[in-house]
Structure 1
């Protein structure tokens, strides 16, 4: 990368076929969807060998997130440089047209169920689109035991043990690793540990049209990773930190990530001196001012502010909702 300076980096989405997906991400993102088939996920910021995010524009267009971290660790990560083998979070939009499998992710300490060098998977959702028919399943009903879950798996009655709720747009749901979960009929933003370790308990009798067969289940591993204390998870209560110049709410704060939501139409400050931040446009449009240049950020965009960039002024041209994601540390 030489002496080229970093700037607010917008990344191209990476679309993923999922049998439970739909076509609603076309209304959220400007990059066209593949021509056919259900698209369940758009990976917005990914430091993974199989699907590396690439810079969408500017002097660094085409560079992957991995290349930038290897070539400029301190300008990218600031005081967090050296703490992570990979960029530690993965950001996505999900279009869950039909129900996601009932699944569970291992915790970081459950090394018997995590490939070498990988992590567990705590994640969180922010609901972007929902209807009265939408459903989130998060946690087990109180009193559910391992024996009870295994019996339900054997008799096809798993859904009877799942705690569930009808979500509203704007709801924020935190899912610690070990939580049994599913969802259907909605579009969400997802932030998660940079892991793809998922164990399916039950798949609603789905058949993959590409294979004509049900997808495999991993019942033994999933059951071993279930945290039976996680019952009836509800949306979090956002913590309002500011109302001027715009409303700033902290949605999530855990060992793996923090997320804030900015809502308003007045210019406000984003970013952090010495650590990177990621911005995700949820509604409206505006521009970032940095180094004498303007960088558009509109609905569906994801923009990484390297540590070297520091704080910026975001100047809305319409009412906006903007998420800001911080790394641990």
Structure 2
């Protein structure tokens, strides 16, 4: 099939969560379903059960799964062949109530990962906070497997967790093996393309849909915890030397993420690599090969590797995240 790829936008996939709310309606243009709690919008997902679909252009209706299969080189460039699925999962979370206390396995803990899946390292950018906002990230010093299990049994697990009150704009890195949860916040989340979660504790809640508590996986969770992950706080952004309106928030083996705030035109994208743009505030035109593609608050846009560099022309000030997938030798990637 002779189709030229272009900047691709995807339809968000909403997910019911008992801890969710209705605030994603303020972030995304797609209406929320019915009147239940919506905790997550999966804005770029290559999962079997939830695959994102292109919303416009000649590839409208194509899933990211189909694109990876039919246009691997055009989409992924020098990364083609490394991944069976698109390697990242992107979400917006509306955590009206606190999530379960949970942990995700690392890539090398194969015993706890379903075949074809990976571990899960993730990161958050805080978009909105409230009076009850709190992020739990890592354990308190001195916590071990024995006293943690005892705290779960005594319903006092929160006493073993490090926590802080987040501010809008905070960026938090959650390495696999880190005990974590959050509540009273709206965040953007980038993570490995994995849905493996083990719950330690769910605050003794009852799911209104089932009338029962949600299942816990305490033994698996304890086996996957990295007890060295303690007292995790917001990361310190790194201001780019020649681009003071650009700051690097995360740089690890799974993803690199920059936050860009500009009023005048600026460059995005990299030759022969895919780039993801997520618009947090404002609107703009993304100019590629003399064509203009609109992007506005809540949109995710995937720039295929074939496109390379593009220019963003903001309508006013724009707050944009740019996400890259590191190559095998991350040290050579700027």
TM-score > 0.5 by shorter chain: yes
SS across alignment from 1:153: helix
Distance 2:98 2:76 in 1: 37
Alignment match, 1:298: 296
Deviation at 1:132, TM superposition (A): 3.5
Residue by residue over 1:219-278, the C-alpha shift from the partner in whole angstroms, topping out at 9 and shown as x without a partner, is 00001111100001010000000464x601110010111100001211000011010000
| 1:325 partnered with 2:323 | yes
Alignment match, 1:101: 100
What are the ranges of 5 or more consecutive residues in structure 2 without an aligned counterpart? 328-334
SS across alignment from 2:320: strand
Deviation at 1:92, TM superposition (A): 0.2
Deviation at 1:40, TM superposition (A): 0.3
Distance 1:81 1:62 in 2: 22
Structure 1 residue ranges (4+ consecutive) displaced by more than 6 angstroms after TM superposition? none
Distance 2:65 2:151 in 1: 43
Give the alignment partner of residue 307 of structure 1, picking from 305, 308, 311.
Answer: 305
Task: Confirm or deny: 8 A CA contact 1:242 1:249 kept in the other structure.
Answer: no
1:269-284 matches, cutoff 5 A? 269-284=267-282
Deviation at 1:323, TM superposition (A): 0.2
Q: 1:99 to 1:229 in 2, by over 3 A?
A: same
Structure 2 length-normalised TM: 0.97
Alignment match, 1:214: 213
Distance 1:320 1:135 in 2: 27
Residue by residue over 1:276-304, the C-alpha shift from the partner in whole angstroms, topping out at 9 and shown as x without a partner, is 00000001111101122211110100000
Distance 2:241 2:248 in 1: 10
Distance 1:124 1:323 in 2: 13
Aligned length: 327
| 1:171 partnered with 2:159 | no
Task: Confirm or deny: 8 A CA contact 1:132 1:166 kept in the other structure.
Answer: no
Structure 1 length-normalised TM: 0.98
Residue by residue over 1:66-89, the C-alpha shift from the partner in whole angstroms, topping out at 9 and shown as x without a partner, is 111111110000000001111111
Distance 2:241 2:309 in 1: 17
SS across alignment from 1:233: coil
Alignment match, 1:73: 72
Deviation at 1:60, TM superposition (A): 0.6
Deviation at 1:328, TM superposition (A): 2.2
Distance 2:326 2:44 in 1: 16
Alignment match, 2:231: 232
1:133-148 matches, cutoff 5 A? 133-148=132-147
SS across alignment from 1:20: strand
Alignment match, 1:250: 248
What are the ranges of 5 or more consecutive residues in structure 1 without an aligned counterpart? none
Distance 1:281 1:201 in 2: 34
Distance 1:219 1:90 in 2: 25
Deviation at 1:319, TM superposition (A): 0.8
| 1:191 partnered with 2:215 | no
RMSD, matched Cα: 0.9
Task: Confirm or deny: 8 A CA contact 2:131 2:184 kept in the other structure.
Answer: no
Distance 1:121 1:263 in 2: 28
1:19-168 matches, cutoff 5 A? 19-168=18-167
Segment of structure 1 superposing worse, 124-133 or 189-198: 124-133
Alignment match, 1:241: 240
Alignment match, 2:331: none
Alignment match, 1:267: 265
Task: Confirm or deny: 8 A CA contact 2:272 2:308 kept in the other structure.
Answer: yes
SS across alignment from 1:185: strand
